[in-house]
Amino acid sequence: MLDSGNFVLARNNSAVVWQSFDHPTDTLLPAQVLNRDGSLFSSFSERNFSRGRFKFILQNDGNLVLYTLNYPMADHVFAYWSTQTLGTGFQVIFNQSGYVYLTARNGTILNYMSSNGVSTDQFYQRLTLEYDGVLRHYVYPKSANSTGGRPMEWSVNVFLPSNICLRIGGDTGGGACGINGFCSLGTDQRPICGCPSGYSLIDPNDRMSGCKQDFLQQSCNQESQESDNFGFINMANTDWPGSDYAHFVSVSEDWCRQACLGDCFCAVAIFRDGNCWKKRIPLSNGRIDSSVGGKALIKIRQNNSTITNPFGGNIPSKSDRSTLIIMGSVLLGSSVFLNLLLLASVLLFVFRFKGRKSKTNIQAYTFLPGVNIRSFSFNELQEATNGFKEELGRGACSTVYKGALKDENGKVVAVKKLDKIEKEADQEFKAEVSSISRTNHKNLVQLLGYCDEGQNRLLVYEFMKTGSLANFLFENPIRPNWYKRVQIAFATARGLCYLHEECSTQIIHCDIKPQNVLLDESHIAKISDFGLAKLLKPDQTKTTTGIRGTRGYVAPEWFRNMPITVKVDVYSFGILLLELLCCRKNYEADVENECEVILADWAYDCYKEGKLSSLVADDEEAIDDIKRFEKFVMTAIWCIQEDPALRPHMKRVMHMLEGSVEVPAPPDPTSFIS
């Protein structure tokens, strides 16, 4: 057994006869290579390590693919992630520096699966295809010194795909959570599986086993009045794509309900934007996500008991109401006084029930349209922040306070309170909730909830212990570690790439700057503050809007009456990248040399004249990594080109930073003539 984890059978002359690295199961280790036709199979469940439902394979055609399998057979069902490298992919390499990438036959890097390199001298590492279908790169510190005092545990460095719930589709298969189940992504980026009301897990010990109906299906006997025994439970932002057998357009929700109720084959109806889809059992690839929209109407049998309302309270079944009517009819024959008394009692019961149901719904589940996150009352947040006592930061029209949620074991949060309750501030609030609630990425600050009560507008975010990148760069008496700055650049680029290219609704952030990049206790960078964000429609690539952003980071096209695209964020990222490289602000008036006042101009002059050492100054770590420093400077100059057409998209920027593509010599950024 070698230190690498490779189990080897060798001859006396050390010639290898057999090695476990040639026969992987669900895991790759550093120094291990996956050749064409090599594959990983997931385990069946968290504790059952027999072959499971997912496969990772470098095909003979050169394409690297993640598949769902036709369990218990091993044939492929649906490709939910791939590198699209037909004819070129040759080897998957996990090197000693912690990078995982796909190469061509000539050694050219085609795709980075994990570019957040971590030294194998300090960390154990593994790349595992787990039972939930997600490929995760794990790291584990070899000593307590590697953790900076944090607990020693396996932590996830990179995972693919970013949202397993939305990526798996197809007309067959159970998706990430099994037949009839639904999948939602948790805060730890792991799928959470559940069953609709009236259904339960087939195997309580396997959350991905799928769900079974706990009631008799509707009879198709024409003489039966079975529809009277069924009702609906609503589930917002839920769908089982691929299970429909009928589709109707330009109809109302009530029409959709009645159409499903009168159809013995209909198990679920999906209503969205005037469209109604009828779905039959079994249901495939269920998912809950704010990007889905609409609602699922789950048809369940009411029987002779009450139906549990998932939003609180009980709904009397039709048979219960019939019983009340019959009992009332029998008793109401005695006297006028008794009639009035009973009538008053029935009315009191009805109004109390309706009031209780309405109150429960409003208090427990209040959402903005299309948003499916927790709603807080103002008093809850006032108590959580101890009367808005500890201020974390302040913006143009908002202040951020530190708080702790008592009902979540004292979980520390950041509460952003909008100071100006004007139309513009209200629009900013709705924009931030609408945009970030649709996102889910490890390099975006997670929105936990909001308050929209009277004149109060507040947002509740995860707490980022280290604070902003601005504090980290500009208020630190010691120059921050070069390699940490490199990782911050990678993370910020990944977050922007997700907003621009991987979100269901493309988002232009419009205000990328160090103050809006926050760092957790491990110095993992996450983009925050979506108050100025601009959402684009699915078929839209540009927009026109008033000037947004912060002076020094605003792209020139804002001032030239040009259409605004995702390239404005690329420009801002270029400025931020230069600040990361040089640990100084883009504009500093008190420098000795006048040509160094504006960092962007000075950086291009240094590059053009071959004097990058002036930018590096006394940063010994950057000097030792001068080739990467030069590549990053060139990438930043491409990003800040005044001509938006010359700026690369963020995915290209990521590849330039990672080294998977060459960075050509950039032109003078100010050469563009309006």
Q: pLDDT tens digits, residue range 419-463?
A: 755 555 566 566 667 666 767 788 888 888 888 888 888 889 889
Residue 315 has pLDDT above 70, yes or no: no
DSSP code string of 321-379: HHHHHHHHHHHTTS-HHHHHHHHHHHHHHHHHHHHHHHHHHHHH----TT--SEE--HH
Q: Given this model, what pLDDT does residue 70 score?
A: 84
Residue 542 has pLDDT above 60, yes or no: no
Confidence of residue 539 (pLDDT cuts 50, 70, 90): very low
Q: pLDDT tens digits, residue range 39-58?
A: 999 998 888 888 889 999 99
Q: Which helix (H) or strand (E) holds 517?
A: strand 517-519
What mean pLDDT is reported for the chain?
80
Q: Given this model, what pLDDT does residue 394 score?
A: 78
Residue 507 has pLDDT above 90, yes or no: no
- Mean pLDDT within 193-219: 87
**579 vs 289, more confident:** 579
Q: Given this model, what pLDDT does residue 186 score?
A: 78
User: Which tokens is 5 given?
Assistant: 């984890």
Domain 19-161 in this protein, CATH class: mainly beta
Q: Given this model, what pLDDT does residue 310 score?
A: 36
Query: Which part of the chain is CATH 3.30.200.20?
Result: 374-462
Q: Given this model, what pLDDT does residue 517 score?
A: 94
3-state secondary structure of 102: strand
Q: Given this model, what pLDDT does residue 402 score?
A: 93
CA dihedral sign, ordered 236, 241, 244, 246: positive
Domain 374-462 in this protein, CATH class: alpha beta
19: number of Cβ within 10 Å: 14
Query: Which part of the chain is CATH 2.90.10.10?
Result: 19-161
Residue 199 has pLDDT above 80, yes or no: yes
Q: pLDDT tens digits, residue range 454-489?
A: 888 888 988 998 889 999 998 877 888 898 899 999
Q: pLDDT tens digits, residue range 598-639?
A: 999 999 999 999 988 888 878 888 888 899 999 999 999 999
Q: Given this model, what pLDDT does residue 155 score?
A: 83
Q: Residue 663: which of 637, 642, 643, 626 has the closest Cα?
A: 637
**Worst-scoring range by mean pLDDT, 73-77, 224-228, 304-308, 474-478?**
304-308
Q: Given this model, what pLDDT does residue 536 score?
A: 43
**533 vs 248, more confident:** 248
66: number of Cβ within 10 Å: 25
Instruction: Measure the CA–CA gap between 123 and 146, rounded to whole angstroms.
Output: 8
Query: Which part of the chain is CATH 1.10.510.10?
Result: 469-671
Confidence of residue 206 (pLDDT cuts 50, 70, 90): confident
3-state secondary structure of 508: strand
CA dihedral sign, ordered 246, 251, 257, 258: negative
- Mean pLDDT within 116-124: 75
Confidence of residue 305 (pLDDT cuts 50, 70, 90): very low
**312 vs 449, more confident:** 449
Distances (CA, A) of 176 to 147, 208, 238, 444: 33, 7, 14, 24
Q: Given this model, what pLDDT does residue 425 score?
A: 53
Q: Given this model, what pLDDT does residue 361 score?
A: 35
Q: Please provide residue 41's backbone torsions phi and psi, each rounded to the nearest 5 degrees.
A: -115, 135
Residue 258 has pLDDT above 50, yes or no: yes
**Worst-scoring range by mean pLDDT, 29-38, 147-156, 206-215?**
147-156
DSSP code string of 260-315: HHT-TT-SEEEEETTEEEEE-SSP-SEEE-TTT-SEEEEEEE-TTSPEEPTTSSEE
Residue 320 has pLDDT above 50, yes or no: no
Q: Given this model, what pLDDT does residue 117 score?
A: 64
pTM: 0.49
Residue 650 has pLDDT above 60, yes or no: yes
Answer for the pair 569, 509: CB distance below 8 angstroms, yes or no.
yes
User: Which tokens is 658 given?
Assistant: 């990672």
Confidence of residue 322 (pLDDT cuts 50, 70, 90): very low
Q: Given this model, what pLDDT does residue 316 score?
A: 42
Q: Given this model, what pLDDT does residue 33 score?
A: 92
Of residues 26, 132, 452, 511, which has the active-site annotation?
Answer: 511
DSSP code string of 446-467: PEEEEEEETTEEEEEEE--TTE
Q: Given this model, what pLDDT does residue 246 score?
A: 93
Q: pLDDT tens digits, residue range 391-414?
A: 888 776 778 899 998 877 788 999
Q: Given this model, what pLDDT does residue 217 score?
A: 85
Answer for the pair 636, 653: CB distance below 8 angstroms, yes or no.
no
Q: Given this model, what pLDDT does residue 557 score?
A: 84
Which residues, in sequence order, are CB contacts of 369 under 8 Å at separation 6+?
A: none
| Percentage of residues in the chain having pLDDT higher than 90 | 32
Is cis: bond before 72, omega within 30 of 0? yes
- Mean pLDDT within 300-318: 48
The CATH number, out of the four listed (3.40.640.10, 1.10.510.10, 3.40.920.10, 3.30.450.70), of the domain defined by the range 469-671: 1.10.510.10
Q: Given this model, what pLDDT does residue 172 score?
A: 74
511 among known catalytic residues: yes
Q: pLDDT tens digits, residue range 336-367?
A: 444 555 555 555 554 554 444 433 333 333 44
Question: What residues are paired with 356 via a beta bridge?
Answer: none
